[in-house]
């Protein structure tokens, strides 16, 4: 049984409001864990690049001349100027050129030219390569880790979450629609909302029609001993309604079934992969949706939502695209709304901390994850 057996206290309210604590979380979590920053399709050719902002850190993500994905701080080694002004583009001749004094780097980070510099005997260009950032890929997603020496490699960090959607050909998929949704809430509030379905019956009526088990305010029957609702699959996981096939307003498919998922996964209609702190993947029989969580301040985030299809699938018209995105777009908007009212209420002078009820066990696990990382960072400091 995973339900909480006692009432638990939630995190302190100031952890969602205080700017200094937000900076503490950036240093202990966002600058030390693997963070998803985009998709490989954004780097089709050598020299292609985009900038990724993680807290106050601006990171260049590029495809080097040998085809590897590389990442660097957007900072010149001369006097610290930003190297890139544009959010994305292509480095001409695979050269990264500082717009201030024209120091020039290869896309592997090596300093190769310092035009106009008077030479000195103690200057060695090999000592002034760009500040490298660990980068790796999984299933077509690009991750970076800002730690000078990451504690784990990417696959160890992903753990079992990488296996849940492994039957979908994610690396061979492309985004057919992207939306960036600003939400006025702390990043943890969004993850808390994601981790419980206690709110589902009153907040997500459209989703509950497709996922009838959600009407009982839990995600999975496996979490409630003795409860066997009609639509749960053999795995004990919640499944789409008997009359539905996927997450859409009608519950019907808008495109062909993707090759790869098992019959059980197709029958279930939805599989999740949750990669805290920066993203989650929701896989369906006919499409996959990814959501990246980008903290922009103590009380604000951007959600980067992509709807993905196999590269050879075509969305034939706007009506088909609308049908593809409508339900998830509605759910994201509904979640954003309640996250914002949650954030607003935390400003009460009387509210020091909330409580967690039985079915909010994943919130407790998430809170423990946050606490452990902050405590570990404090000890290391």
Span 33-156 CATH architecture:
3-layer Sandwich (2.102)
pLDDT of residue 296: 98
Tens digits of residue pLDDT in 291-344: 999 999 999 999 999 999 999 998 888 899 999 999 999 999 999 999 999 999
165-377 classified as CATH 2.60.40.10: no
Which residues are bridge partners to 50 per DSSP? 61, 88
Instruction: Assess whether pLDDT exceeds 90 at residue 363.
Output: yes
Instruction: Assess whether pLDDT exceeds 60 at residue 274.
Output: yes
CA distance linking residue 56 with residue 50, whole number of Å: 16
Q: Which ranges in the chain are annotated with CATH 2.102.10.10?
A: 33-156
| Cβ atoms within 10 Å of 339's Cβ, excluding its own | 23
Residue 229: pLDDT band (50, 70, 90) is low
pTM of the model as a whole: 0.96
Q: Which of 162-171, 214-223, 258-267, 353-362 has the lowest mean pLDDT?
A: 214-223
Tens digits of residue pLDDT in 144-195: 999 999 999 999 999 999 999 999 999 999 999 999 999 999 999 999 999 9
First CA to last CA distance, the chain:
37
| Spatial CB neighbours of 16, under 8 Å, sequence gap ≥ 6 | 185, 186, 188, 189, 298, 299, 343, 346
pLDDT of residue 22: 98
Q: Which ranges in the chain are annotated with CATH 3.90.380.10?
A: 165-377
Q: Are 174 and 311 in contact (CB under 8 A)?
A: yes
Tens digits of residue pLDDT in 9-39: 999 999 999 999 999 999 999 999 999 999 9
Omega of the bond prior to 277 within 30 degrees of 0, cis? yes
Instruction: Assess whether pLDDT exceeds 70 at residue 230.
Output: no
pLDDT of residue 233: 58
């Amino acid at each position: 049984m995973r339900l909480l057996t006692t009432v638990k206290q939630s995190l302190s309210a100031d952890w969602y409001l205080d700017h200094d604590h937000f900076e503490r979380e950036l240093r202990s979590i966002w600058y030390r864990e693997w963070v998803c920053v985009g998709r490989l399709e954004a780097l089709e050719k050598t020299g292609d690049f985009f900038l990724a902002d993680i807290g106050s850190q601006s990171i260049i993500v590029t495809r080097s001349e040998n085809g590897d994905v590389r990442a660097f701080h957007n900072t010149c080694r001369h006097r610290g100027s930003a190297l890139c002004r544009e959010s994305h583009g292509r480095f001409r001749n695979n050269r990264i050129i500082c717009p201030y004094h024209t120091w020039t780097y290869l896309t592997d980070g090596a300093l190769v030219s310092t035009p106009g510099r008077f030479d000195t005997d103690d200057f060695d260009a090999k000592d002034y390569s760009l500040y490298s950032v660990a980068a790796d890929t999984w299933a077509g997603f690009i991750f970076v880790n800002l730690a000078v020496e990451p504690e784990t490699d990417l696959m160890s960090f992903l753990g079992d979450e990488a296996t849940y959607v492994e039957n979908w050909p994610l690396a061979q998929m492309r985004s057919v629609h992207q939306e960036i949704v600003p939400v006025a809430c702390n990043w943890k509030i969004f993850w808390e909302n994601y981790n419980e379905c206690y709110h589902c019956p009153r907040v997500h009526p459209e989703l509950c029609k497709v996922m009838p088990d959600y009407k009982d305010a839990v995600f999975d029957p496996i979490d409630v001993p003795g409860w066997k609702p009609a639509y749960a699959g053999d795995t004990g996981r919640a499944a789409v309604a008997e009359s539905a096939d996927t997450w859409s307003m009608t519950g019907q498919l808008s495109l062909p079934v993707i090759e790869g998922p098992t019959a059980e996964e197709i029958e279930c209609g939805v599989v999740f992969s949750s990669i805290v702190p920066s993203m989650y993947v929701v896989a369906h029989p006919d499409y996959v949706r990814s959501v990246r969580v980008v903290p922009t301040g103590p009380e604000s985030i951007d959600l980067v939502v992509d709807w993905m299809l196999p590269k050879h699938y075509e969305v034939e018209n706007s009506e088909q695209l609308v049908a593809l995105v409508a339900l998830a777009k509605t759910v994201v908007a509904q979640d954003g709304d309640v996250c914002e009212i949650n954030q607003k209420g935390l400003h009460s002078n009387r509210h020091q901390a909330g409580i967690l009820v039985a079915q909010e066990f994943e919130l407790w696990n998430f809170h423990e994850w946050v606490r452990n990382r902050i405590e570990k960072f404090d000890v290391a400091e």
